Amino acid sequence: MDFKKAVRKLFASTPSSVLGIDLGSEFVKIAQVELKGSRPEVREFVITELPANLKGAALTTAKDEMAAFLHDLFNRYNFTTKFAVFSINGRNAFVREVGMPEMPDDELKQAVAWDAGQYVPYETDTYYLDYAKFGEVTQEGRQPVVLVATPKDIVDSTLEISDLLGLKVLKFDIDSLTLCRTLSQTLTNFILLDIGHTYSMMTLFQSAAPVAQRALPQGFGDFLETVAVTTGTDVKKAEELVREGSYLKQEGETEELAAKSLKNSINALLRECLLTSDYYASNNREKEFTHIVLAGTGANIPDIAEYVKSSTELEVIRHDVRDAVSFSSKFDGKKVEAAAPALAVAIGAALAGGESDD
C-alpha cells in the first residue's frame, strides 16, 4: 500500500530544501531540511511556545496575527527556502478504515465520496476527503480502504497564512504519517503512541496503513504537573528531575514518591492505549499488533521504552528522528538530543516534500 498518495502534491519539481511546519495548539515547530546528498540534513530549526493570544484555535481565528508571528520566526532563525509542507495534527484529522466492495478504481472513488458522510464526523461540505486502498481483498470481497478527512477551515486558513508568508505549499500531511516516514525500520501492524505536551495521539496501523486514531487526554505536561505537585516544586524543576533522574528504574522501598507519581501517569496513558488497541482487535478478526512505537516529547523520558515493555508483550521502540536525518554540525549535540523528539513531525513533513506521489 502506497499511502503517500493520500496527500496531493502541488508542484511537479522536487525542491532541494523544504520547510516542515508543525503548528500545534501550544507550540510551533519548524525544521528546514536539505534533501540533496545521500542523507537529509536539518539545517535550521526552532521550537517555541505560542504567545497566549495565539494558543488554541488561533489558526482559524487570528490568521493575520499568526502570520506575523511566523514571519518574525522566519527572519530570526534564517529559514531560507519558501517550499513548505504543513502537518495536520491528530485532533484535526479523522482517520478510519472501512471495507468497500471490490470495484474498479474510478467507481471506488465515487463510492467513497458517496459513503463518506456516514463515517466522517464533520458536517457535509465542511471537510476535505482523501482515501487509499491497502491490504488484500477479504474473502467476502471487501477492499480495505483508509479514509482521511480534515476540516476545510483548517486547510484553508493554513493556505491563507502561507500566502501572507510567501510560502509555496507542496503538501499537507498528517502527523502519524510524518512520524512513520522517519522510522528506522519497516513495520506493518503496530501502535504509534505520540506523547505530546498537552495530549497524546495513538494511531493503529494495519498493513502499514493508519486504520484508526484516538486522542488521549494525558500528555507530557500532565506527567510534569504530577511530579511537580508530588515534589512541591514548579513544572520547570519537575522537568529537570524527570529528564535527569532515573525514576522509571526505581522500585521497592527506595522508590521516591515522584517516581511513583510518574509511573502512575504513564500507566494511565498506557492503559487507555492498550484498551483501545484490544477493542479494535476484538472487533476485527485476525487483526493483531506486534510493536508499540513511542514518539513525541514524552518519549524522551529516560528508560520509558524499557518501562513500557515491562507492561506489555508487544515489542517497544523509542522513536528517534536522528535515525532518518542528520543535523548540521553547527548545532550542539545536547541541544539536538533534547529537541529531536519534538521536531520529529516537522522533519517528517519536510521529507514528504521530497517524495513523489506517483
Distance CA 154, CA 164 (A): 16
Which residues neighbour 187 within 8 Å (Cβ) at sequence distance 6 or greater?
Answer: 205, 208, 290, 291, 293
pTM, full prediction: 0.88
pLDDT at 20 over 50: yes
C-alpha of 267 from chain center: 21
- Cβ–Cβ < 8 Å for 308, 292: yes
Q: In what order do the strands lie in the sheet with 190-195?
A: 127-133, 142-151, 94-101, 209-216, 200-206, 190-195, 291-295, 315-318
Binned at pLDDT 50, 70 and 90, residue 2 comes out as very low
pLDDT at 139: 83
Domains in the chain, ordered, with CATH?
Answer: 1-92+151-184+321-358 (3.30.420.40), 187-319 (3.30.420.40)
- Cβ–Cβ < 8 Å for 143, 99: yes
pLDDT at 303: 94
pLDDT at 4: 42
Distance CA 205, CA 209 (A): 5
3-state secondary structure of 347: helix
Binned at pLDDT 50, 70 and 90, residue 5 comes out as very low
Higher pLDDT, 29 or 37: 29
pLDDT in tens, 178-222: 999 999 889 999 999 999 988 999 999 998 999 999 999 999 999
Mean pLDDT of the chain: 90
pLDDT in tens, 319-353: 999 999 999 999 999 999 989 999 999 999 999 98
Distance CA 207, CA 51 (A): 40
